[in-house]
Structure 1
Amino acid sequence: MTTTAQPGQLQLDPQSSPSLMRVSGDWTLAHFSSLESQVANVRHGGQPAELDFSDLGALDTAGAALLADVIGGARMGQLEQITHNLPAERLALLRAVGGAITQCRLDERKPPPGNAIVDILERIGIATIAVRGHVVGMLGFIGLTLQTLARTLLRPRRWRLTSLAAHMEQTGLDAVPIVALLTFMVGAVVAFLGATVLKKFGAAIYTVDLVGFAFLREFGVLLTAILLAGRTASAFTAQIGSMKANQEIDAIQAQGMDPVELLVLPRVLALLFTLPLLTFLAMMSGIFGGGVVCALSLDISPRMFLYMLQNDIAVQHFLVGIVKAPVFAFLIAVIGCLEGFRVSGSAQSVGEHTTSSVVQSIFVVILLDAVFALFFMEMGW
């Protein structure tokens, strides 16, 4: 074997049949760049049938890896037949490096073995980080909204009364039929179920108290907030998200206007005004539905129904219910607007964030309602 101090070379013997490739020079890491380009040319031109290593100089693992690439993984098992003048120790090196490369490529193709517990913990961690990001973002947006509100409140010229009136009509007046109808039907159902159960104990007359307590404290504000979470929060997200996708918000900022003042405050204030009014309507509609069922099923006259409501149910139950409405309204409006600003620019993103705003609003409403219920119960209200 002749050793040279020159970089390795690959030379195709044109007179040989089958095709013979002569390997000469040093195949070491020091000449890796030039060797790699030669191997790439050989790979494009097709693999030679045999290789002659009679003029091979120094060889290390880097050169062996390139030669293994020239030979090909499918022919590594036939090294003795396709190589000539290659000492046994270098043949073993070439076989070891080629086998390691082949195994590494097979391992990369195989998916890592799964572990159910690890996967579950990973999903929990990802979900926890996502929830944390949503909470931090929502708290920051609440602070930005309150800051903008405080800055605008003392400047009547910056009030956008036309936009406020338009949003009050959309969120309040247009929602009156669905809120009244739904709460009337739920009130009738609650009264019917209460009468069915209480009749067994001879206490059907207390169905009046059940309907009054349920709608003044919980159902009136809760059903209204859930309806507006699905109806209004989604509308806010879709409106602002479409503006974000069409780069209208960028245009607003380019003109020196504040998107929060222009788009968020009118929607938040409109819902703050309309949700308490809709809650009062829902309370009256639910009680009216319960009164209809009591009159038809229990022979409780409207006069008796109103008399029991007046004597058995204190005003504080109405206040407990109505005080939740502004809190729910503020959070529903903020979540709807925030998800609109999070839209990335495509129609799919608008749909995803609209769904997210509805889910988050309903979740927050129910969670806060439970917190309010526990607090008022502990306070004895």
Structure 2
Amino acid sequence: MRAVKWISSIVAVIVLISALVFFGNFFSKNSSSVSNTHNNKTAPATTKSNSKKGIQVTSKNDNSSYQTVIKDGRYLTSKARGVTASQESNTFNQVSFEDGLLNFSKEHFSTSKYIFQEGQFLTTNQANEWLSRQSDDNKDGLNPRDNGKFNNERNPIYLQSIEEQDFMTKEGNNLKLHGIVLGLAMNTQDTYQKEQYGANFTQDISKDDRIQQGQRMADEIVKRYRNINGINRDTPIYVVMYAQAKDDSLAGGNFYSWNVSKTGDSLSNWTNIDNQTVVLPMQESTTDDKSVSAKLNSSFVNFSNNIEGFFPNLSSVTGQASYDGNNLKGLIISVSTQFYSATEIESFANYIAQSAPNYLPSGVPIKIKIEASTGMQAYLTKSADSDKYKVTILGSY
């Protein structure tokens, strides 16, 4: 009898252990499944890219873009990105400055030969010091000392921001620096306050004064870069000068000259850049049937009318066209809408992708942003060598 009870106890223990193992595996599998579903992924939590150490480069879809740098599984961001001398009130300036600088770089560093790396030599602390006023506490300030005046005799802030782009080649597992492009954004108008939290005042900066101050600063910046560890004496350093638009402008500014230091710390002769930015739709007072942008303005108006007919609850459709002389270099369009439905946004974006080639120019890069008061909802892009628009819906799965 005792033997039977003993055997029964052993069987019960075995059954209990089996049940625990079964349910333990069951809950473990389901817990993993819930985690992956929540992240909308089927891959393990630790991805292959995040486990990589060292330097890698991205792939690219076409020859119009650069391969970029990844370090330890993450995109290598600029060390001084976003540092400005004062608050940037005109967001158009930032877009046209960064896009135009990259287009300039493509003319001097081939996308098929070089790898693009966000600026890694100028640090955030250095950028803050350089963009500040010179003072007893800051000998490295590039903007002039505060002379204490509050009228047109005051010393304005000339240099608003510095953008660095590095161009590399891959040699084995390492990257080698082959050139640097520096964009210097110069103010055409300085906004200031006579007292903290007080009213804003503006001071216009003459063209001659801006150019003279910009060239002086460019010389000094190149000398400082030559002293940074990792930059050789014969590494080409290109400097591109950009005139910021005023705060109330509906378009960004323009690049107006460039120079290069091929060796040493001196710059050669400056080369003028004939750039201009046109806001679309153009005002009737500025529209000339013979002007370069008149045909584009007409096409843009037809495009706007077409999409407003499809979705009549649009707030506005505006554009920013960039020209190099008489040649259109690119177009950015902003569509403001009140859409909230995901299906509305997707239908509208797809409609734009189908109709845009019938109205907008070919042979140039175009970006179309669809925005609401809550932020950007979608964007469309096309490269210069294609008429097909790629649609990206933000927040979709």
TM bin, normalised by shorter chain, reads: under 0.3
Q: Which is richer in strand? A: 2
Higher Rg of the two aligned structures: 1
TM-score, reference length from structure 1:
0.22
TM-score, reference length from structure 2:
0.21
Q: Which has the higher contact order (CA 8 A, sep 6+)?
A: 1
Q: Which is richer in helix? A: 1
